[in-house]
Structure 1
Amino acid sequence: MLAVAQGGGKAVTAPDAVTPTTSPIARPTSSLPPADELLALLDGRRLSPAQRRIAHYLLENLPEVAFLSSMELAERVGVSQPSVTRFAAALGFSGYPELRAALRPIALRAPEQGFRGEQLAGNELHSALASDQANLEALHKYAADPARLARLGSDLAGSEPLSVIGLRMSAPIASYFAYGAARIHPDVRAIDTPGSPAHEALLQAKAAGGTWLVAFVLPRYSAESVVVLQNARELGLKTAVVTDVPLVPFAHLADVLLPVGVGSRSVFDSHAAPMAFAALLLQALADAAPERTQERLEAYEALAETRGFYVK
C-alpha cells in the first residue's frame, strides 16, 4: 500500500507492498525448462536499451552465444565490447566469462528438450505480457484499501497550485496525469524541464500557496528528478512519488511513496501499471472535491462542444 515517510525520514513501506526480489548474483535453476531458465536469469534486472538488445540476441541465439567471446557477441549484436561486459555485471556476474559459463549448461540442455530460438523468443513475448498482467493485478492492493488513496487525493486537491513532474521516460505518464488533473483542478503546473526552470517553477508554486508535488520517477531513474525532489523538500513542499519499488535511493525524499511495478521484459520498460495507477490517482483527486470536479468537467465539455475540440 502507501509507503509514508514521517517527519522527513525514510519512507516506511506497509507489509503488503509488492517488491520484486532478485539475488545479487543470478544463477540459473536447472530444474526449469531451458526457456524459462534463461528468462529467470534476466527477470527483474534493470537493463539499459543497449543491454536489452544483447538480452534479446541471447534469447534468440542461445546455443551460439554461449560459446562466443565478448568481442564476437558485441559484433553480432552491434554494440561495443564494454556494453557486453556491463551487461554481464548488470546480471550480477563478475564478468562476461562467468556469465558465459552459466549459459553453457542451459545451451547444452536445450537440444534435449526441443528448445529453439524462435520458441524462446515467443515465450519472451508472452512473458512480457504476463509481467504486465502481474503488475496490474498488484494494483488491487491499492483498491483494497481506498481510504489511503482517498486521503492522498484530498491532500492533492487542496494544493493550489499542484505541481507535477516527470522527466525522460517518466514524462509521458506525468503528462497524462497533469492533463487529466488540469480538467478537475484549478491550478496544475507541469514541470517537464530540469535544471533552473524546474527550481523556479517550484519556488513560484510554493509562493502561490502550493503544498504538494506529484513526481513520477520510474527507471531508469532520472538524476534531475531526484534533484527536484531535494529542492522540493528544502522549500517545504510535500512529495507524492510514484516509482517502481519501495527500496529506491530517493525514498527518504518522499512523504508518500507509491510503488507500482514496471515491466522490464522488453527493450524499453512497459509502463502499463503506472499508467493505470495514474488513472486511479486522478480518480482519487476527482472524488476529493466532487462539486468542483463536476463544475469544471461541465465547463470543459461546453467549451469542447463550442470550439469543436473532438471529431463527432
Structure 2
Amino acid sequence: MERKMQTIRTRLRKMTEQLTASERKIAQAILADYPFSGLLPIQELADRTGVSSASITRFVGKIGGGGYQDFQRQLIGELKEGNKSPLDLKVRQAPAEPAFLVDYANRMTVILREMTETVSQEQFDQVCRLIADTSRNVFLLGGRVSNTLASFLSIHLRQIRSQIYHLPDNPEFWPEHILRMRKKDIVVLFDFRRYQPNLAALAEMISRKRQATIILITDKWMSPIARHSSEIIALPIDAGTAWDTVVGAHVFVEALIVKVSEFDWASTQARIKAWDEVRLDSPMPGEEPSSTIDLEGTNEA
C-alpha cells in the first residue's frame, strides 16, 4: 500500500526542533487553531504572531510549501479530504487483487506500522494516565460508526474502574451528563472522516461550560473537535478502498485498555472479581437460570 502524504500538522510537529524561535511562534499559532489559523490572510497571521510576513513566507518554504498560497491550498485540500465519502474514495481505488483477503491484511500491517509512527509513546502514556486517574470521571461518545469504539472502550473501562459514563446516542439526554462534568474530568470523543457536526457542538459546549479535558481520537485530517481538545490522537484510516478502516483505532483502544488496567492491577483485579460476583449471566439453551443472588425467603410475611 502506498504511503500517504503527511499533513502539515504532522510535519510541523516533527520539525519542532529544527525551527527558530520565530518559526516556533508561527507553528504554535497554526497548531492552536488548526487548520483555520493557517487560512488567515498572511498579514493577519503576522499580526497575531508578531512575526513579519516575510518570515512567514520563509517558514512556509521550510516546511515544504511553495509559498503562502500553496500552503493554504494544502490546508484546504486536507479539509476536503476529511469530508470524502465512500463514493468519492471508490473513484481512486485500485482494482481489487485476486487474493484480496491477503492483500487487505497486508494493507492493515502498513496501517498499524503507520499508527505506531504517528502516536508517540509519551502521548499514549499521557492518555492512559488521564483515564486511569480514579479521581476523574470519564465520559465517552463517538460518531455514527465510531461510537462502536467508544462502546467497546467503555465496556472494558467499567470493569477496570468506576465513574465511566458512555453518553447515549440521543442528544436530548446529553445535558444530564454535561451538568455532571467537572473541570478535572475526562471526555473521550471518537470522530473520523465525514465528521459529525453535533459532536463538534458538544465539544465546544463542554470546553466553554465545563472546561473538562477532551481527548479526541480522529484521523490525520482532524475532526473540528480538535479546536477544543487537550489531547489529539490522529490515526491512519485510509485503506485505499471505498471504506476507511478502524483497525488502527481498535488496536490503539485495546492497548489503552491493557495499559490502564495495569496502572493499579490490585484494584483492577478486585473490581473484576466483584463485578463477576454480581453479574447475572443469561442461561444457555436448556440450562436453568443461575445467579449469585439468594432469592430464598423473599415471599415470607
Q: TM-score, normalised by structure 2?
A: 0.59
1:224 to 2:198 alignment: yes
Q: How does 1:63-212 map to 2 (within 5 A)?
A: 120-122=95-97, 125=100, 128-141=104-117, 145=121, 147-158=122-133, 159-206=135-182, 211-212=185-186
Aligned residues: 213
CA separation of 1:198 and 1:151: change in aligned 2, threshold 3 A: same
CA separation of 1:131 and 1:221: change in aligned 2, threshold 3 A: farther
Which of 284, 287, 299 pairs up with 2:262?
287
Task: Report if the CA contact (8 A) 1:136-1:273 is conserved.
Answer: yes
Task: Report if the CA contact (8 A) 1:128-1:263 is conserved.
Answer: no
CA separation of 1:49 and 1:149: change in aligned 2, threshold 3 A: closer
Cα distance, 1:283 vs. partner?
2.1
Alignment-derived partner of residue 116 in structure 1:
none
Tell me the distance in 1 between the aligned counterparts of 2:272 and 2:145.
Answer: 29
Cα distance, 1:143 vs. partner?
8.1
Alignment-derived partner of residue 88 in structure 2:
51
- Stretches of structure 1 that go unaligned for 5 or more consecutive residues are 13-22, 26-43, 60-119
Q: Which aligned segments of 4 or more residues in structure 1 are displaced greater than 6 angstroms?
A: 309-312
Pick 1 or 2: higher relative contact order, CA cutoff 8 A, min separation 6.
1
Cα distance, 1:241 vs. partner?
0.6
CA separation of 1:154 and 1:121: change in aligned 2, threshold 3 A: closer
Q: How does 1:262-273 map to 2 (within 5 A)?
A: 262-273=237-248
Task: Report if the CA contact (8 A) 1:131-1:263 is conserved.
Answer: no
Residue identity matched to 1:51: D
CA separation of 1:123 and 1:260: change in aligned 2, threshold 3 A: farther
Q: TM-score, normalised by structure 1?
A: 0.57
Tell me the distance in 2 between the aligned counterparts of 1:310 and 1:291.
Answer: 32
Task: Report if the CA contact (8 A) 1:142-1:149 is conserved.
Answer: no
Task: Report if the CA contact (8 A) 1:10-1:253 is conserved.
Answer: no
Give the SS at the match of 1:122.
coil
1:297 to 2:267 alignment: no
RMSD: 3.6
Residue identity matched to 2:198: E
CA separation of 1:45 and 1:127: change in aligned 2, threshold 3 A: farther
Cα distance, 1:256 vs. partner?
0.5
Alignment-derived partner of residue 32 in structure 2:
10
- Stretches of structure 2 that go unaligned for 5 or more consecutive residues are 1-9, 14-27, 35-70, 75-80, 288-301
CA separation of 1:141 and 1:55: change in aligned 2, threshold 3 A: closer
